[in-house]
Amino acid sequence: MQHVHGFTRLSALALGITGALAFGQVHASGFQIKENSVKAQGRAFAGSAVAAGDASVVANNPAAMTQFEGTTVQADVTTIDLGFEFEGSGTALGGRPMTGDNGGDAGDLIPVPAMAFVHKLDNGLALGAMVSAPFGLVTDYDADWVGRYSADKSDLQTIDLTLSAALDITERFSVGLGMIYERADVTLSKAVDFGTIICASGSPANCFNPAYPFRPQANDGHAEVEGDSNSFGWLVGATLRPTDKLSIGVSYRSEIDHEIDGSVDWTVPGNVQAALGGNPNTAVLFKDGGARADLTTPSVTTVSVAYQFTDAFSMMADWSQTGWDSLREINIDFANPDPNSVEDFDWKETQFWSLGGEYKLTDAWTLRGGYAYDESPTDIATRTPRLPDGNRKWYSLGASWQATQSLEVNFAYTYLDAGNPQIDLADAQGHTLVGEYDANVSLYGISAQYKF
């Protein structure tokens, strides 16, 4: 087979799992999931770092744990109804139209659980533990869709165990520190255009010969990557209560460095396997084997303010910055002879602003509402089908029911308006994908908190 070097270069690009191992996006900044508290969701996460009576502060700002008394246990479940529908087209090598449909609804229903525990000691020290899922993604396109060479399925799950401690320095000032153990599991896949790889690496003129067996889009294979990692991070926070009505909280969550170790599973058509096997330089390519990549999840800085206007009414505000500039590139190192695959991301820092309020309607019922604006780290130059992501507006409503003196039940609903993110992709094999997404996200949350 001719042009072995060109073939080898394309073989690395064909897998294209660099974007995959960079995970993908759900509905907050990048692939961040904010939903670790239904109570906070009801006010669009305004006041998340000073939230009175919300045990999610174990992971959001441990310093706020000193405001608890006794022991508190809290369990939250938020269901994310994710909808991504693509409208557009693409081309293959030489500008020929891409076959396939628009992929259907790539979204899914994603349950996001969380559980927190806080215990306040008599000496001013508070201890807490929380299990949450700070990052995640599920998108699933039809197998033969027009963008199949970019992505078909993405499934990411991260689970954090956070252990925190807080201490009152003075009556109005407290500090907190936490350790984070994080596990990431990822499964991602895409179609591979072996027809283009072979014809472009051998005799490019044959790519457009109807009688040639290795034509673009005529010999699709498939690649699936599975990987996981365990790593550690930390968080620190402080709260200040200048008056009985005003609370200010600041927290910082560190970056977490992951070394993703996984494997590549190839599905290669029989005639392609035969063609590769005829040359010792290509016979070793596209074989199942190991793969690894380094990934750094971003830091998050949050500032929260809450003000109690009356005994019944209070307002909160949040500002947070997510350091997505930690994701500059992903470099995939294959155990088999395929060369490393490197993809630049050049993501940017993002800002999140929210404003919310609470009104105590009766002794048993409290109502909430909030609005937020959430920036995306991507734009049309860096957007892929794994992350049909754009700037979002949050509209949230929520309520609490004090069922007994010890038991509280919370409800929340959020609608996210993500607009119509546009996509304009081109890869080294000559595939393009141009169009826009109709993106809709609804969040349904319920939680229970018990104090004893």
- Find how far residue 270's CA is from the centre of its chain: 36
* Superfamily name with CATH number, domain 4-451: Outer membrane protein transport protein (OMPP1/FadL/TodX) (2.40.160.60)
Report the interhelical angle of 270-277 vs 194-201 (nearest 10°). Answer: 30
Q: pLDDT digit string (tens) for 229-285? A: 999 999 999 999 999 999 999 999 999 988 889 998 899 998 888 888 888 888 888
Q: What is the pLDDT of residues 350-409, one digit of tens each?
A: 999 999 999 999 999 999 999 999 988 888 877 878 777 788 899 999 999 999 999 999
- Sign of the alpha-carbon dihedral angle for 266, 271, 276, 277: positive
Report the SS3 class of residue 326: helix
* Cα–Cα dist 422/359, whole Å: 39
Picking from 211, 331, 159, 321, the residue whose alpha carbon sits closest to that of residue 259 is 331
Report the predicted TM-score, pTM, of the whole model to 2 decimal places. 0.85
For residues 359 and 366, the answer to whether their CB atoms sit within 8 Å is yes
Domain range annotation of the chain: 4-451
DSSP string, 264-318: EEEE--HHHHHHHHTSTTTTTSS--EEEEEEEEEPPEEEEEEEEE-SSSEEEEEE
- Please compute the mean of the pLDDT values over residues 2-6 and round it to a whole number: 39
Q: What is the pLDDT of residue 31?
A: 61
Q: How confident is the model at residue 96 (pLDDT cuts 50, 70, 90)?
A: confident
Least confident of 43-47, 156-160, 201-205, 415-419: 201-205
State the chain's mean pLDDT as an integer: 85
Question: If you write DSSP's letter for every residue of 61-108 in order, what string do you get?
Answer: -GGGGGG--SEEEEEEEEEEEEEEEEEEEEE-GGGPBPPS---SB---
Distance CA 319, CA 325 (A): 18
- DSSP lists the bridge partners of residue 191 as 222
For the segment 398-427, the average pLDDT, to the nearest whole number, is 92
CB 332 within 8 Å of CB 17:
yes
Greatest Cα pair distance in the chain: 83
- Give the pLDDT score at 6: 39
| Per-residue pLDDT at 450 exceeds 90 | yes
CA distance 121 to 367: 31
Residue whose entry in the numeric block shows the structure tokens 């073989």:
11
CA 90 to centroid of chain Cα atoms: 26
CA distance 400 to 157: 29
Cα dihedral 28, 30, 32, 33 sign: positive
pLDDT band at 172 (very low <50, low <70, confident <90, very high): very high
Share of residues in the chain with pLDDT > 70 (%): 90
Q: Is the pLDDT of residue 327 over 80?
A: no
Looking up tokens 């991602």, which residue turns up? 188
Which of 127-131, 199-203, 375-379, 412-416 bottoms out in mean pLDDT, i.e. has the lowest? 199-203
Contact 23, 324 (CB under 8 A): no
Tokens 């500039």, located at residue? 325
Between 354 and 23, residue with greater pLDDT: 354
Residue 128 reports pLDDT greater than 80? yes
Three-state secondary structure along 195-238? HHHHHHHCCHHHHHCCCCCCCCCCCEEEEEEEEEEEEEEEEEEE
Neighbours of 288 (CB within 10 A): 14
- Identify residue 316 by its one-letter amino acid code: M
Nearest to 52, CA basis, from 403, 361, 451: 451
Q: Is there a contact between 217 and 292 (Cβ–Cβ < 8 Å)?
A: no
Q: Is the pLDDT of residue 201 over 90?
A: no
User: Whole-angstrom Cα distance, residue 16 to residue 149?
Assistant: 8
Cα distance from N-terminal residue to C-terminal residue, the chain: 74
């996001």: which residue's tokens? 112
Least reliable range by pLDDT among 35-44, 99-108, 333-342: 333-342
pLDDT confidence band for 167 (50 / 70 / 90): very high
Q: What percent of the chain has pLDDT over 90?
A: 46
What is the predicted pLDDT for the residue at 7? 38
